[in-house]
């Protein structure tokens, strides 16, 4: 990937649930897994495996960013505070859950515009097809892989492991 695209990644920011901005630049040097999430989806139990990845790899340089989205079947209807409470109460989530976004269409969050352009889906389609689509970004801002909703987070562990320094 060229440096213009990686610099663009680092120029972006995510809106956190408290309204503050999380500059992606602050994640330079970390492996990032971005996931669009929903509380009422058949894939919602993936939160458990995402938390396991966070527990296992965050100290070695992995950051998981979850972006709630209500664009697929209305499966994330709650307000930010309700979403955060659901995640922590039901799945013990401690990784960052951002403010609700759109991932497709003219109001798509700039982070998702960038990710979809850098790693299109099946047959070159940029559109996110469903909740729990995942993007793996390396320490330098390269979008390496787009994973379908059906790919469980535990199946991504091998790819994450390859990018991280060895365990101490």
Active site residues: 41
How many helices (H) and strands (E) the chain has is answered by 5, 6
Q: How far apart are CA 47 and CA 39, in angstroms?
A: 9
For residue 130, give the nearest of 151, 154, 155, 114 by alpha carbon.
151
Residue owning tokens 């330098």: 140
Q: How far apart are CA 114 and CA 8, in angstroms?
A: 8
Which tokens sit at 96?
Answer: 């960052």
Q: How far apart are CA 114 and CA 84, in angstroms?
A: 25
Q: Compute, in degrees rounded to 10, the torsion defined by CA atoms 117, 104, 147, 4.
A: 20
Per DSSP, the three-state class of 37 is strand
């Amino acid at each position: 990937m060229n440096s213009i695209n990686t610099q663009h990644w680092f120029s972006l920011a995510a809106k956190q649930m408290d309204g503050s901005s999380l500059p992606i630049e602050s994640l330079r040097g970390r492996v990032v897994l971005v996931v669009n999430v929903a509380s009422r989806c058949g894939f919602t139990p993936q939160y458990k495996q995402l938390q396991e990845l966070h527990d296992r790899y965050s100290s070695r340089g992995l950051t998981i960013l979850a972006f709630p989205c209500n664009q697929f079947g209305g499966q994330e209807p709650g307000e930010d505070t309700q979403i955060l409470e659901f995640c922590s109460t039901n799945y013990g989530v401690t990784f960052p859950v951002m403010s609700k976004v759109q991932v497709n269409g003219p109001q798509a969050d700039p982070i998702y515009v960038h990710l979809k352009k850098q790693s299109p889906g099946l047959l070159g389609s940029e559109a996110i097809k469903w909740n729990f689509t995942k993007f793996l970004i390396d320490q330098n801002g390269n979008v390496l892989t787009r994973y379908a909703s059906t790919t469980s987070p535990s199946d991504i562990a091998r790819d994450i492991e390859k990018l991280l320094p060895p365990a101490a």
